[in-house]
Amino acid sequence: MGSRVAIEKQFRLVRTGLFVVWALISAVVVAWSVRSAQHQALSDVMQKAGETLSVQTEVLSGVLDKYRLLPPLLSRQSSIRALFIRDADGNAQALDARRTAVEIAAMSAAMDVAFFFANGELLANARGSGVASAEDVPALIEVARQGRLGRAALSYGEGQRTYAFSSGVRRDGRFVGAVVVYVDFYRVEAAWALSARRIFVTDKSGTVFLANDPAWRQRPLSDLRQTGRIDRYLIDGGFEERLDLVRRLPLLEWDLHVLADPAPVSAARFNAAAIATLACLLAGLVALVALRRNEVVIIRARADRATALRLERVVRDRTRALSVTNRSLSHEVDVRRAAEERLRKTQNELVQTAKLAALGQMSTALSHEYNQPLAAIRSYADNALRFLDRGLTSEVAGNLTRINGLVERMAELSRTLLSFSRKPGATIGPVPLGTIIDEALLLARPRARAAGIEEIAVAPEVAGLHVMGGRIRLGQVFVNLVNNAIDALSGRPGGRIEIEARRAGDRVLVTVADNGPGITPDQVSQVFDPFFTTKGVGEGIGIGLSIADNIIRDFGGAITAGNRPEGGACFTIDLAAAAAVDPVSTPPMAPAGGDQAR
């Protein structure tokens, strides 16, 4: 008892130290994960906003470049120069000029086209709007008089905005007027409105000239922004944090802004913290279970040793008593010898009983079927860390889902191992055969590649069949059979595994075959017996096929073993057919043990 208390005290100290180390490592992992996720998410947000900024810069520049060349081209046409000729009474050709302006505006989709005399008098314009009378028109005509391309951003009544280009018209070298083309930004702002991000242009005075939010137009940017660690902008009546990417348009003296929402960065930080915390908790739980199992094994070994010492002491005391009695009572020699023989027999029976009890515990509570689920959990956790390094949070979520399924699977495996003594209570219903085989191969293929298996072929007919059974346990059967085939083909060149299925009335026959050495005739009748194995010592205890046989029997089916005519083992599973049902998402199966008999 004192030894057990000392062992438990020692393991409590170990658990305390393990907890401290786990807490430190978890804190580092969570902090690193959050920082990496934040950096990656911020990079993605800035990249997408930068792409939007580049695209809209090109769009805006393209629209302005389209109309920039139009006034110089028009001013050089003789038909346009003829419009500025007055008759003898000094009257201008206003009607012809208006008709020409309308045609040009219609063909170019300009907001307006206007013709001005050299003194600023309007000859004609296309739309009849107020653009031609804007206060910047004299400046446009003056620049055109100097032989340069005039340009100006104009704002006029009811929040209307345009950008005007002007070019001078000359006859016989004399400046007679100017052609002014007004750019319509309606299509640009309409295109911006389709973007989820806020896009706007500010002029050199800091006023919003163009924007995909009508409430922002022609308002000072200082009224729409609150500066701080992260700028806050007026969005839908309230100030919200946004990342501002700016591109300078030097010729226009404009700044093009794209506002990016930093919410994905916060979400990425939270998700990374949650995932890293769950992963660390899972790792700590696995370590705690392993430590507890080691503690139980040590305590049990000490208890067995104490029992053996007590038995030896009893035998020694009884033998001494028999010797003393024999010297004094010779007639009791035969009785004492008989008692000694019974004592030895009892001792042997106790040893044998202890061996059987340990064997029963190994085949139930400490079954080998836990080994590969634990390995799969470790693999998925390692992959989750790598995905976190790459910022693939969706893949990390998938791995954690699989880990959760593996934990559930370990509980199912415990119940499956008890099928030797009683029927398990797992639910039976229609399940998709193709999906189950795909999930089993997902776990078995890495091991097959490591063993040098060239191909695992699945017949196309498998995908369309449904059978009656339990999805997880039926998957375990196929994992057992495929792993069995891998063991048989390991180290043999040209290894191939074939899985086929066909429907025969209300039954479905599934075969799993390989091109390995096959099964000897004297082994065919024993392959499904518990603890029968052809492997070496320590490589397996031979219960994999026995478990598979019990599972198939629970489903109302049968499994048989044999050899193919061309060589190699062939296992045939007979299951009840079922009607197709909507697929139900279930976690991936954990691989069953690989130490079944061949």
Model pTM above 0.95 = no
Q: Summarize pLDDT for 265-302 with one digit per residue, the tens.
A: 888 888 988 998 999 899 888 988 888 888 788 888 88
Which pLDDT score is estimated for 494?
85
Q: Which residues are within 8 A (CB) of 529 and not within 5 positions of it... i.e. 6 or more apart?
A: 542, 546, 597
Contact 207, 220 (CB under 8 A): yes
Closest CA to 175 of 132, 149, 146: 146
Q: Which residues are within 8 A (CB) of 441 and not within 5 positions of it... i.e. 6 or more apart?
A: 456, 458, 478, 482
CB contact burial 443-481 (16+ within 10 A = b; e otherwise):
bbeebbeebebeebebeeebeebbbbbbbbbbbbbbbbb
**What pLDDT band is residue 179 in, cutting at 50, 70 and 90?**
very high
Which pLDDT score is estimated for 364?
39
Looking up tokens 């913290």 gives: 273
Q: Which of 86-95, 379-388, 569-578 shows the lowest per-residue confidence on average (mean pLDDT)?
A: 86-95
Q: In the 3-class helix/strand/coil scheme, how is 5-19 assigned residue by residue?
A: HHHHHHHHHHHHHHH
Strand partners, 259: 198, 244
Evaluate if residue 202 carries a pLDDT over 50. Answer: yes
Q: Summarize pLDDT for 329-368 with one digit per residue, the tens.
A: 777 777 778 877 785 565 445 433 433 433 343 343 344 4
Q: Which residues are within 8 A (CB) of 101 and not within 5 positions of it... i.e. 6 or more apart?
A: 112, 113, 114, 115, 124, 125, 126
The DSSP-derived string for 59-116 is: HHHHHHHHHHSHHHHHHT-HHHHHTT---TTS---HHHHHHHHHHHHHHHT-SEEEEE
Q: Read off the tokens for 191.
A: 């295109």
Question: For 183-190, what is the mean pLDDT?
Answer: 82
Higher pLDDT, 373 or 268: 268
Contact 471, 551 (CB under 8 A): no
Q: Which of 1-15, 105-119, 378-392, 433-447 shows the lowest per-residue confidence on average (mean pLDDT)?
A: 1-15
Q: Find how far residue 392's CA is from the centre of its chain.
A: 6
Looking up tokens 């205890």 gives: 541
Evaluate if residue 593 carries a pLDDT over 60. Answer: no
Q: How many angstroms separate the CA atoms of 95 and 97, rounded?
A: 5
Contact 417, 460 (CB under 8 A): no
Which pLDDT score is estimated for 136?
76
Return the top range by mean pLDDT from 296-300, 407-411, 539-543.
296-300
Contact 179, 169 (CB under 8 A): yes
**What pLDDT band is residue 39 in, cutting at 50, 70 and 90?**
confident
Which pLDDT score is estimated for 508?
94
**What pLDDT band is residue 545 in, cutting at 50, 70 and 90?**
confident
491: left (phi over 0), alpha (psi -120 to 50) or beta: left
Which pLDDT score is estimated for 591?
41
Q: Read off the tokens for 443.
A: 């776990």
Evaluate if residue 250 carries a pLDDT over 60. Answer: yes
Domains of the chain with bracketed CATH: 69-184 (3.30.450.20), 427-576 (3.30.565.10)
Distances in Å between the Cα of 306 and the Cα atoms of 293, 349, 545 are 20, 17, 38
Q: In the 3-class helix/strand/coil scheme, how is 269-283 assigned residue by residue?
A: HHHHHHHHHHHHHHH
Q: Read off the tokens for 472.
A: 């997880």
Q: Which residues are within 8 A (CB) of 389 and not within 5 positions of it... i.e. 6 or more apart?
A: 36
